[in-house]
Each structure stands twice: as C-alpha cells, then as structure tokens.
Structure 1
Amino acid sequence: MDLATPIGIVGAFCIVLTAIFIGGSFGQFVDVPSVLIVCGGGLAATLIRFQLSDVIAAFVTGSKVALAGRNTGPRELISEITSLGEVVRKSGPLGLENVDVSDPILAKGVQYIADGYELEFIRESMERERDLQLTRLSEGKRVFKALGDSAPAFGMIGTLIGLVQMLANMDDPAAIGPSMAVALLTTLYGALISNIICLPLVDKLDSKFDVDDLNQTLIIDGVCQIRESKSPALIREMLVAYLPEKVRIEFAEAA
C-alpha cells in the first residue's frame, strides 16, 4: 500500500486548516451554498460528459491507483522471467506449475504456458488484457481531468452568483456579508478540490499508465519467448532493451 497520496492530501488540507485557525475562525470558511455549487455543479458537469458507469469506474480506479503499492520494476521482471525460462529448459512447461510468481499478469502468462496454449492465443489474450487495463486508466484520467476543470469553473460561477447577490442588496448591509462569503468561498473550494485531489490523481493515473504499458509489454514478450523455448540468456538479452541505457549496464554487471 502506497501512503504517499493519502499523506499528501491530508497534509495539504492540514496546512490550509492550520492557516485558517491561525488567522481566524474555522466557521468563517464554512458555507453550505458554496459547497453545493462547487461539488454538486462539478459532479453534474462531469456526468454530462461521461456515462454514470464510467464515472463510478473512474472513482474505483482512482482510489486503487492512489493506494496501490509499488509496481514490480522492469529489472525484477526480467530476472524473474529469466528464472522461469531456466525452469522450462530444465523441467519443461509443466515445471512451471510449482513456481511462485510475484506479478499477477506474469502468473497468468505462466499458467497459459503450463496449460499448453498456443503462442498466438497467449499473445492475443495478454495483449487484449493489457489494452483493456490501459483503457480503464485512460478513462479514469479523463474523468478526473474533467472534475479538475469543472471545480474551479463552478467556483467562478459561485463567485459571480455571490457578487450578483451582493450588488442586488447593497441597501441591506446584513445581506452583503453572506453574499460576499459565497463569492469568495466557492473560488477557494474549487481551487482546493482541483489542486489537491483531482489534478494530482490525473498525474498519478498518467504515471500508472506508462508503468503498466511498459511492464505488461515486457511480460508479454517474455512469456512468448518462454513459450517458444528460447534460452534464458537470449530471453535476458531481448528484454534488457526495455531498460534505460544506464540501467542496462548496471544490470549486465550484476548479472
């Protein structure tokens, strides 16, 4: 489990709350109409752009990515795939039945090999699963990007509503304060939601997209090489191409 995202979100809100308590009263920064305008309006605008099922799936994907632990790196995957190639060379495909595999995608590919599926089926099945996973991440990124854009926009709408109410009641001093609160707090709420929650999750989903694309493509190539009974040394040499140049040298020295 990765605690960076929840720590960052909680830390950011704590900093803002600390500044509020130092400078005044917390009650001054609570306004229900402003919350309704920003949260309700932003969510409604997002629902207009996407289907309800896509929005729900995006929230599920975003929460999983935000709390997901560290992915298995390419170096670890290459070492593990090379070891699996050695097992197949010594004991045949059935020798993979008793091997523990750390990555679930790699484990599925290993099971395909052990079950004797054809190479073309293995490649097509794993590529389809990779593409569907990347599509889910891409769709989740689009939903959170829409929320990140809508929240400040509705903050500005709330500001305009508050200014109109304030100007319409200039003859009533008691009505100026609440109207001004709506005008300013909606902008504050929109900025907080966008910059602390939505846009950081967009970046995290984008990073997850790149990592999954690289890792799963590496796994697919490795599994196919094992299925073709290539030598472990050849498998290692072919997969090293996925590593940056500097890491390739270090990996070769370690090997």
Structure 2
Amino acid sequence: MDLTLLIGWFLAAALIVNGITVEKLGNFWDQPSFVIVVGGTIASLIACYPFRMLKDVPKHIGTCLRGSKKYDVPKTVEQIVDLAMIARQSGLLALEEKAGEIKEPFFKAAVLMIVDANDPDKVRFVLERQVEDMMSRHDEARGMYIKGSALAPAFGMIGTLVGLVNMLKGMDLSGSGGASSLGQDMGVALITTFYGSALSNVIFHPIAQKLAVREGEEVLYCSTVIEGVISIQSGENPKYIREHLLASLQRGQQTKLLKKADGGGK
C-alpha cells in the first residue's frame, strides 16, 4: 500500500495549522466561504462530467493508495523468461496451460494470442491498441482532477468578489454606521481564496499527479508484456529476453537483477 498521498495530506494540513497557530484556527472557518468553494467546485465538476466518471472517484483514490507491486516489472520479466524456456523446449502450444495460471488479464490475453499462432504484427497491433485505449481512459479520469484543480481557485475568486461586494455595499461613508459588518465581509473575501488554493494544491493536484504515476507504472508493465510475448513468439533466447526487458529499469536495478539471475542459474 502506498501511503505517500495520505502522508502528504497530513503534512500539508499540519504545516498550515502550524502557520496559523491552533489558537487562531477558528478565524479560518467560515461556512459561507466553504460552501462557495467546495460546493461550487463539486457542482461544476458534476456539470462537466458524466455520472459514470463521477462514481469512480473512490476507485481513483484506491488507485492512488495502491502500491506499485500490482505491476511488478522484474517479477513479470521472470515469468516471461520462464515461458520462453517452456516455449523453446515444448513449443508455443505448451504455454496454454501456463496461461491459465496467469491472473493479470492483459498478460494472460497476450500469451493466449501467441498460443493461437496469430501473426506477430497483429499481436502487437491489438495489444498496443488496448494500451492506447487504457491510456485514453486514464487521461480522461485524470483530467477531472486537473479540472477540479483549476475550478477551486476560480470559486475562491468568486467568493472573494462576493465578500468585497458585500463589504462595499455595507460601507456607510456618512458616518452613521455600517462598519460592523466590514470585518465579516472582508473575512469571507479572503478566506474563500485560501480555501480555493488549499483545495487545488493539497487535494486535486496531488491526486492527478499520483494517477499519472500509476498510469506510467501500468504502461511500463504492458510494454514489457508486449515485448516479452513477441520475443517468445520469435523464439528469442531467454537470457536475451531478460536483458532486453530489464533495459527499461534503472541501471542499478538492472545490474542487481541480472546478477541474481546469473547466480540462480549456476
């Protein structure tokens, strides 16, 4: 489980509270400002996006909190190398039974495609098309949070204008009163800007960025699978396949995994 999003939220909240000081924290709560910014942002997102996307918000949060082990590239490479060894010894048809043991749908479908003796170009085209479709869906979901990151400060500005208008309307330059509400109206004007900036930079933007990181992990995994099954179908040497697929990792990690593989083969 990846807790960095929650840790970041906690640290941001703690630092903001520390800057405000606890005894003055009450000065930063204003219900009308909160309703304008949070309520307005949510309302605009509802107007912008269909329900099929809005209902997936809990799923998106779960994706952000999910660890990177779901798409473990080194482990996947070793699985591909094992399949390559079986294919060289017994042929591609021998992989059908092994495909049934693979739980990840994309990997399983890729192996079954080469078992069915599809043309390599067709296999690559179909699998890459699936990855492109997946990326389009992810970009659409991430765009919702990017939009929220833009809307929150905008509603903060709307709240600021509301507060300023009320303040100016309540001013009585004749000296007969009207100054009692100036502080409250000015507070609404400033606090809405604060709420909008916090909502944008602490909530929406980190979620969008974390979803981009998760997408990168999944794309790397899928690319590894595609290159791996194509190499198996081409009859490449398992050792070459391992070196080729690990090339996408950091140099230090590559060296460590290759040494481990060579040691295991002795």
What amino acid does structure 2 have at the position aligned with 1:38? Answer: V
Query: What is aligned with 1:65?
Result: 63
Residue 193 of structure 1 deviates from its aligned partner by 0.8
What secondary structure sits across from 1:118 in the alignment? coil
Cα distance in 2 for partners of 1:103, 1:10 equals: 33
Residue 117 of structure 1 deviates from its aligned partner by 5.2
Cα distance in 1 for partners of 2:195, 2:258 equals: 52
> Is 1:207 matched up with 2:213?
yes
After superposing the two structures, state which structure 1 stretch, 70-79 or 93-102, moved more: 93-102
Query: What is aligned with 2:142?
Result: 141
Q: 1:60-209 to 2 correspondence within 5 Å?
A: 60=58, 62-71=60-69, 72-92=71-91, 93-98=93-98, 100-101=101-102, 103-114=104-115, 116=116, 118-119=118-119, 120-170=121-171, 171-209=177-215
Query: What is aligned with 1:253?
Result: 259
What amino acid does structure 1 have at the position aligned with 2:3? Answer: L
Whether the 8 Å contact between 1:57 and 1:140 is mirrored in structure 2 is no
What amino acid does structure 2 have at the position aligned with 1:30? Answer: W
Whether the 8 Å contact between 1:37 and 1:154 is mirrored in structure 2 is yes
Whether the 8 Å contact between 1:134 and 1:209 is mirrored in structure 2 is yes
Cα distance in 2 for partners of 1:245, 1:24 equals: 51
Residue 14 of structure 1 deviates from its aligned partner by 4.3
What amino acid does structure 2 have at the position aligned with 1:2? Answer: D
After superposing the two structures, state which structure 1 stretch, 32-41 or 105-114, moved more: 105-114
What amino acid does structure 2 have at the position aligned with 1:137? Answer: H
TM-score (norm 2): 0.80
Cα distance in 2 for partners of 1:61, 1:224 equals: 32
Cα distance in 2 for partners of 1:136, 1:61 equals: 13
Cα distance in 1 for partners of 2:59, 2:234 equals: 35
Residue 134 of structure 1 deviates from its aligned partner by 1.0
Q: Which runs of 5+ in 1 are unaligned?
A: none
Query: What is aligned with 2:264?
Result: none
Cα distance in 1 for partners of 2:242, 2:225 equals: 12
What secondary structure sits across from 1:24 in the alignment? helix
What secondary structure sits across from 2:239 in the alignment? helix
What secondary structure sits across from 2:210 in the alignment? helix
Residue 239 of structure 1 deviates from its aligned partner by 2.1
What amino acid does structure 1 have at the position aligned with 2:244? Answer: M
TM-score (norm 1): 0.83
Whether the 8 Å contact between 1:158 and 1:182 is mirrored in structure 2 is yes
After superposing the two structures, state which structure 1 stretch, 103-112 or 76-85, moved more: 103-112
Deviations 1:70-110 (A, max 9, x none): 14343332222111211223344334524644644323323
